[in-house]
Amino acid sequence: MAEEPRKDVTAAEAAAIAARVAGAAKRTSQIPAYKRAAALAGVAEILKKQREEFAALIVEEVKKPLKEARREVDRATFTFGWAAEEAKRFGGEWLPLDLDANTEGRVALVRRFPRGACLFITPFNFPLNLVAHKVAPAMAVGAPFVLKPAPHAPKTARKLAEAIAAAGWPEEAFAVLPCSNEVAETLVRDDRFAVLSFTGSANVGWHLRSIAGKKHCVLELGGNASVIVAADADVPWAAARAAWGAYYYSGQVCISVQRVLVHEKVYAPFKDLFLKNIAELVSGDPKDEKTDIGPLIDQKAAERVDAWIHEAVSGGGKMLAGGVRMGDRIPPTLVESPPQQCKLATEEAFGPVATLEKVATVDEAFERMAKGRYGLQAGVFTNDVRSIFRAWSELPVGGIIINDIPAFRSDAMPYGGSKDSGIGREGVRYAMEEFTELRTLVIKPA
C-alpha cells in the first residue's frame, strides 16, 4: 500500500520499503495478462469518475490552470486505458534456428520478462500523467515499483495510489514515498531496484545515473525546444500554435516552445500574428476556467526566469512583450533576436518566455536548432517534403512534429530525447520495453 506522506522518512525506513516492494517482484511477474489489464482498466475508470477531484488537487498543489489540469486527468485516463490494452498484446516471437547444419532441429522462443523492481522519480509539472507514464507500463509488464513524487505534489500521488490499490494491484508491490532528495539518493543507490526512471532536470538526471550502479536507466531531462516556420508555412496556424505552446502552464513544460526561428519572407506577418495571439492569452487565478497563464511554481523559479530575460535583453535582445515580474508571476514574454549564447537561447527556461529569430534559409534554421546541448522535440511548419525528410534525418532530437509545435505529444507514441535530453523512451509500449529484458528459450525436440 502507498506510504503516508511524511517529511521525516529516514534512509533506513526507505530501505525497508524498498525491500518489501522488491520482494514482490516474483509475484507480480506471475500475474496473468488479463488481471494486469483489468487492474489498469480499473485505474482508468476511477480517474474518469474522479476527474474533477484529481483536477482540483493538481490546481491546488502545482498551480496548473484548471482547464489544463482537467486535460491532464483525461490524458492519464487514456494512458492507463492504453496500458491495459498493451498488457494483453505484449508478446514475443518464435525464431527458427534451422539456419545451418549446427543449429538444425532447434527452435527459439523469445519473450520479455520484467527486469525487477522499479524506482520512479517524477517532477511537479505533470504530477498525474508523468507518473502514469511510469506506473502504468510497470503494471502492464508485472513490475513492482516505488514512486518518489515531486515535493510539491504528494497529495496527487497519494490519491493515485488509492486508485491503484482499489483497482486490485497487490498492495505490497508498490509504494508512494515522498521523501527528501538525500533519501531518494539512497534509493537510487539501492541494488534491489533494477530500473531507475527519472523525469526532471538534466543536471540532476545525469547525476542520478552516475550513482545508480548497474540499474537500467531511463532519463527524460527536458530541452530547449525550437520551432521552425518555413517560407511556405501556414503562418496564422503557426503563430497561433506557437503562442499557445510557448506559454501554456506558464511554460513549465519540457517541450514548451522556447525558440521560434522564422524565415525572413514570412517574418513580419508571423511576428504581428504571434504578438496578437500572445495578447489574447488570459492571465489570472488557476482556479478560473478562463485562465491560460497562472503563477510559476514558486517565487524562486520566477526570479530565475526573470534574470534570464534580463540577461537576454541586456545582451542586445529586444523585449516585444511582457517582461515585468510580479512575485511568482511573469506575463507572457517574447524577446526578439537574443544573443546566441544567452541562457534563453541555450538552456531550458521552464517559464513563460520565448525568443523570436529571423533566418534567411531553412538550412540556417536547422543549423541553429542542431547546435544546442538538448534534443527532445522540435516543430517544423512546412509542406516541403524535402525539408520534412531532411528534418527527420538531420535534426538530433527524439521527435519531429510537422506543422505543429514540439509541445505536441500523443501518450501512445515513443517519447524521449538525445544528447542532454536523456536516454531511453517513454510512451506506454516503449516504456514496457525499457522495464523488461529479452530472454531466449532454445528447444531441441527429442
Q: How confident is the model at residue 7 (pLDDT cuts 50, 70, 90)?
A: low
Q: How many helices (H) and strands (E) does the chain have?
A: 16, 18
Beta strands in 275-398 (DSSP E): 318-321, 333-336, 353-359, 374-375, 377-381
254 among known catalytic residues: yes
Q: What is the pTM of this model?
A: 0.96
Cell numbers representing residue 22 in the block: 522488491
What is the C-alpha separation between 262 and 380, in angstroms, rounded? 10
Q: 254, 347, 348, 357: which one is catalytic?
A: 254
What is the C-alpha separation between 57 and 69, in angstroms, rounded? 9
* pLDDT at residue 9, as a whole number: 75
CB 364 within 8 A of CB 216: no
The string of pLDDT tens digits covering residues 250-265 is 999 999 999 999 999 9
The string of pLDDT tens digits covering residues 208-257 is 999 999 999 999 998 999 999 999 999 999 999 999 999 999 999 999 99
Interacting residues of 355 by C-beta distance below 8 A, sequence separation 6+: 258, 259, 260, 312, 317, 334, 335, 336, 337, 338, 344, 345
pLDDT of residue 392 exceeding 70? yes
What is the C-alpha separation between 252 and 64, in angstroms, rounded? 9
Query: How many Cα atoms are found within 13 Å in the side-chain-facing hemisphere of 97?
Result: 16
Q: Within 10 Å of residue 111's Cβ, how many Cβ atoms?
A: 13
pLDDT of residue 446 exceeding 90? no
CB 303 within 8 A of CB 328: no
In terms of DSSP H, where are the helices of 225-297?
235-247, 267-280
The string of pLDDT tens digits covering residues 27-79 is 999 999 999 999 999 999 999 999 999 999 999 999 999 999 999 999 999 99
* pLDDT at residue 3, as a whole number: 42
* Rounded average pLDDT over 390-400: 96
**Domains within the chain, CATH numbers bracketed:** 11-221+421-443 (3.40.605.10), 226-410 (3.40.309.10)
Of 5-14, 17-26, 282-291, the one with minimum mean pLDDT is 5-14
Q: 68, 220, 347, 434: which one is catalytic?
A: 220
* Rounded average pLDDT over 265-273: 98
220 among known catalytic residues: yes
Element (H, E) at 346: helix 343-346
* pLDDT at residue 8, as a whole number: 56
* pLDDT at residue 6, as a whole number: 47
Q: What is the mean pLDDT of the chain?
A: 96
* Rounded average pLDDT over 359-370: 95
Query: How many Cα atoms are found within 13 Å in the side-chain-facing hemisphere of 284?
Result: 11
The string of pLDDT tens digits covering residues 93-126 is 999 999 999 999 999 999 999 999 999 999 999 9
